[in-house]
């Protein structure tokens, strides 16, 4: 099962989006996206909701609760 950081990176790369593009769309820094993907930081609940909306997936999917 993929972890949150792996799912974020997978969704971003599958959609051919750079970290900078994703950061701009979510209103965060590119460094924040980098830290999420490396697993060094966990996105806030608000950021998880924004990621889910952006990628048209559920928060449960991002968190690995739903495949």
Between CA 16 and CA 45 the distance in angstroms is 24
pLDDT at 35: 98
* Cα–Cα distances in angstroms (integers) from residue 59 to residues 12, 43, 54, in the given order: 15, 12, 11
pLDDT digits (tens, 9 = 90+) for 18-64: 999 999 999 999 999 999 999 999 999 999 999 999 999 999 999 99
């Amino acid at each position: 099962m993929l972890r949150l950081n792996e799912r974020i990176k997978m969704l971003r790369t599958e959609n051919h989006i750079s970290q900078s593009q994703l950061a701009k769309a979510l209103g965060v820094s590119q460094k924040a996206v980098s830290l999420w993907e490396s697993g060094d930081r966990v996105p806030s609940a608000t950021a998880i909701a924004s990621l889910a909306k952006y990628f048209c997936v559920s928060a449960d999917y991002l968190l690995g609760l739903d495949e």
